[in-house]
Structure 1
């Protein structure tokens, strides 16, 4: 499948899928000219952005929702 098809399948944008291909985070990808080919059975890479720490999740919001 193409980068566009993978993005639609995984709910991601074309730029992030292309980045994943460039970084080698999707197994079996092949670049033909300026086109990335991704296996149909490829698994969506894990999102490496920061997640809230357990301490942050336990904290109460600083501002009351009643305002």
Structure 2
């Protein structure tokens, strides 16, 4: 399986490496593993949904 680093994932997904680190530590990216001090993320991993924002709109 091919892996990418935090920096590569941040460029691919358009977020900061710190945010990717947080997502890995929170186990939000399936298949991400930590080798010593480096997170390895599968190249085919999808960017997880941002739980800070709601996607649904309420109708009146």
Q: Same fold (TM over 0.5)?
A: yes
Equivalent residue number for residue 16 of structure 1: 19
Task: Rate the CA distance shift 1:43–1:52 in 2: closer, same or farther, 3 A.
Answer: closer
Larger relative contact order, structure 1 or 2 (CA cutoff 8 Å, min sep 6): 2
The answer to whether the aligner puts 1:27 opposite 2:30 as a matched pair is yes
Aligned mates of 1:40, 1:48 — CA distance in 2: 22
The alpha carbon displacement at 1:52 in A equals 7.8
Using structure 1 for the length normalisation, give the TM-score: 0.74
Aligned mates of 2:39, 2:55 — CA distance in 1: 33
Specify the structure having the higher radius of gyration (Cα).
1
The alignment partner of 1:18 has SS state of: helix
Which has the larger helix fraction?
1
